[in-house]
Each structure stands twice: as C-alpha cells, then as structure tokens.
Structure 1
Amino acid sequence: MIADKPLMLKELPKEERPREKMLTKGAAALSNAELLAILLRTGGKADSVLRLAERLLKKYEDLGLAGLAVLTPQEMRKIKGIGLAKAVTVAAAVEIGKRLASLVPGARPAILSPGDAANYMMAKLRYETKEHFIGILLSTKNHILAAPTISVGTLNASLVHPRELFKEAINYSAASVILVHNHPSGDPTPSTEDIELTRKLVKAGKILDISVLDHVIIGDNKYVSLKEKGIIA
C-alpha cells in the first residue's frame, strides 16, 4: 500500500499554517515542529517544511527539544533538506534561547552562592559536547561584570592558561572571579586535572590580588562546587 503523500504547507488550511497560527493564537499554541518550521521557512520538493522540522527533531528524539542544543550546524546539514542557511538559523535561535535562559532579573545580577553560579551557566553549558571554560568576573559586591569563554577544549579536556583568564579579569577591573566549566559526560565530579588547575589559578589570582572564589563544574542539570568540597579555602 502506498503511503499518503504528505500535505505541503500551502495545502493546509490557512489558519493551520505555522506563521498564521502564531499570529492568531500566539507562539505558545504551536508545537515544537511548527515553531521549528517557522525558522526553516521552506521544505523541499518531496517534503513539507513541517515534515522537515519533524525529521530534524527526530535526530535526537530521546532528548526531545533539547536535542537541538547538541546539534552543530555541520551535523544538521547531514539531514536531507537542511542547507547552510537553515542550519545556522536554527543554531542561532538555540543560542538566543540559551542566553535568555541564563538571564537573571534585575539590572546586574549578583553571584552570592555556588548555586547562583551554576544556575547562571547551566542553560549555556549543560548540553555542550566539548568542555567550555568560563570565568565569571565579579565586582567588589559580587555583581557580574562579564562571563567570557576562556577556552574550548576537546571531549574531555579544557586547556586553560592563567594569562588568558586574568587578562580578561584585568580588562574588566574585576575584583574576583568564579571559574566554571562543563563536563560533557553529564557527571560533574571533579577530576585530578580539575583540582590541579584550580589550585594553579587560585595561586595566580593571589599574586594579582584577584580572588578565585570558586570553581563550579556543570553536569547535566547538576553541579559540583570545589569551594563546598573544601578544595578552595
């Protein structure tokens, strides 16, 4: 038996097309596939844009919508119908979502606990497939001045030199810094290398009079604070 040919977008009732549906019912009324279809804009000769969106979502369907956070533009382009423009558009939308999720209400958020630092960086780092090492730069009252990425490593290693970290801290006139990096495995347990690097950076910070307050390791919706573990005095 031959499967029914999928409806192309123009064949759908106008009120059921994603753009029109968003305008009349609001973005919350749209499914994940419909929202993604708006970003993709067009389908292919054989598939509607909705079918293309569904195929992209199924790439990591065990993660649900979060699967988009681990797909690189290069991986998206391996899916039939996804070209460069579509891939970078989706990747840009995902990055905007991460940044919005990390925002804290108020003019300038403050970090007052390891949990604050973890919450600030969780959305950005929990789905990364490589280690990202970030310095949260703080004022004298622990308000966030900036959170630059110091290095991006391989699957299980991040290369960080004190010079790169403290150059950023000096540029922002930071009084202190909190180190943050992720473990792509999802397990935030610190490695021997993590502990050695932390002690090295704490020592360098003392020389420059820029305190390293903590090193927070991000896993999959969980974290470990080396301050809470007593590794940082």
Structure 2
Amino acid sequence: MTLINSFDINFLADQIEHYGTQELTDRELLFCVCCSAFSKRDATTITGKFFSQYEDLEQMQYLTDQEIRDLLPENQKNWFFEVLSEFAQRFEKRPSLALGTVYSSKKIGEYMSQMYGCAKQEHLVGIYLDTKSQVLLQKSIFKGTLNSATVHPREIFKEAVKCSAARFMVVHNHPSGNVTPSKNDLALTDRLLECGEMLGITLLDHIIVGDNSYLSMREEELIA
C-alpha cells in the first residue's frame, strides 16, 4: 500500500478490502482507529501529533495521562486511548493454541470458530504436530477464495517440513456460516491425504468452521 500524506478513510477502506489490514502502515492504522471516535480532521491531527513525537504504535502503552490529553483536540474523549490500551491487553489474553499441548478436533474446531468464524474472506490455517500430536506450529497459509487452483499442497507441506512435523491438521472457514464441505473441500482433503502418505506426514483432520459451529471431517468419517 502506498503511504499517503492526506488521509482519506474511503481510500483506506478500499485498500483494506483489496490488500488486507496487514498492509496498513502504523500511521494509517492509527488514523483508521481514531476515525471511529473523532472526525476525519481531528483523526488526522491526532495521528500527526502522535507520530511527530513517537516512532511507532508500541510506544502508545507508555503514554501518561497528560501526554494523552495533549494528543486529543481540546481535551475531548480522554478515555479513548485508555479504551484502546484495555482492548489490546484483553486481546492478548484471548485463548490460543499452546505449543506442546495435545488438542482434540473439538477443541481446535471451537477455537478456530472464535478466530475465523466471522471472517468475510476464507482463511486456511495449518496446525502442525509432533509424533505425540503436540502442537508445534499454527500457521496461516492462504487467504481469499480457496479452490484447487489457489491452495497447493506444497505450501502446506513446506511448513510441515520446516518444523519437522509428523502430523498436521488444516482448518478453513466458510464465510457463509454453512460448514458443509464443498466438492473443492473434499478434493483438497484427498490431495492432502495422498501427498501426506507419500511424504510420511499424516493429515489428521480437515476442519471447516462457521460463525458458531465447526465440522470435523474425521468426526464425520470423511477421513478414515
């Protein structure tokens, strides 16, 4: 994404839709967040003040009450950065897959439903395990429309080889909320089973998640 000097929230929204939030600069990200509580003009002023004094967003956690008041126009909404800080702290405490832990398909399905069930784009995540089925790595591999043309087994197995995984699961979401496997889902599962057999890296499960539900292909006996 190209850095812009004069922020335009509509332009940024288009860029996010096409390239994702991960492509936003710290400056653009702060501007978007400030627009939720302030006018575009005030959001631009706050963003400019912050980055004229600090290098990156990490330093926001160290701001004093007075420094926060100095950033805001006419002492408006002094609670704003306090709320942001509290949100960030709680987000860091969200449930996550702990490395070295064994999880059932049910636990992973429930966790991934919280993480990706409401996403508007499809995501495919690999969960890589050792010989004792302990988690070695959780890796986001694809984002967008998932089909046989975009999801190639080599990208999934590349991560498995990197971390010396003996087994793995793949999880992806259906933005529609319907967790019924599509023909593409079943075809991908078959390809991963075949490739895994050749490489000696076993596919334990392919889990599909929706906003409040999940489907495990192993539980449904779609994977023997």
Question: TM over 0.5, yes or no?
Answer: yes
Report whether the alignment pairs 1:125 with 2:116: yes
Deviations, residues 195-231 of structure 1 (Å, cap 9, x unaligned): 1110110110010000000100001110111111211
Unaligned 5+ residue runs, structure 1?
Answer: 1-38, 48-85
Partner SS, residue 94 of structure 2: helix
CA positional deviation for 1:127? 1.4
What letter is aligned with 1:177? F
| Alpha-carbon distance change, 102 to 121 in structure 1, aligned in 2, over 3 angstroms | farther
| Alpha-carbon distance change, 42 to 175 in structure 1, aligned in 2, over 3 angstroms | same
What letter is aligned with 2:95? S
Asked if structure 2 preserves the Cα contact closer than 8 Å seen for 1:217 and 1:225, the reply is yes
Report whether the alignment pairs 1:197 with 2:171: no
Aligned match of 1:103: 96
Distance 2:93 2:180 in 1: 27
| Alpha-carbon distance change, 46 to 168 in structure 1, aligned in 2, over 3 angstroms | closer
Query: Matched residue pairs, number?
Result: 149
CA positional deviation for 1:124? 1.4
Distance 1:147 1:182 in 2: 15
Identity of aligned residues (%): 39
Asked if structure 2 preserves the Cα contact closer than 8 Å seen for 1:102 and 1:119, the reply is no
Match of 1:187 among 178, 189, 200: 178
Unaligned 5+ residue runs, structure 2?
Answer: 1-32, 43-79
Q: Any runs of at least 4 consecutive aligned residues in structure 1 with deviations exceeding 2 A, and if so which? A: 39-47, 99-102, 106-109, 156-159
Greater length-normalized contact order (CA 8 Å, ≥ 6 residues apart)? 2
Distance 1:230 1:167 in 2: 27
Deviations, residues 30-81 of structure 1 (Å, cap 9, x unaligned): xxxxxxxxx749633999xxxxxxxxxxxxxxxxxxxxxxxxxxxxxxxxxx
Equivalences for 1:140-179 in 2 at 5 Å?
140-154=131-145, 157=147, 159-179=150-170
Distance 1:107 1:46 in 2: 45
Report whether the alignment pairs 1:139 with 2:130: yes
Partner SS, residue 155 of structure 2: helix
Aligned match of 2:221: 230
Asked if structure 2 preserves the Cα contact closer than 8 Å seen for 1:214 and 1:225, the reply is yes
Q: CA RMSD in A?
A: 3.1
TM normalised by structure 2 equals 0.58
| Alpha-carbon distance change, 109 to 119 in structure 1, aligned in 2, over 3 angstroms | farther
Partner SS, residue 121 of structure 2: coil
CA positional deviation for 1:190? 0.5
TM normalised by structure 1 equals 0.56
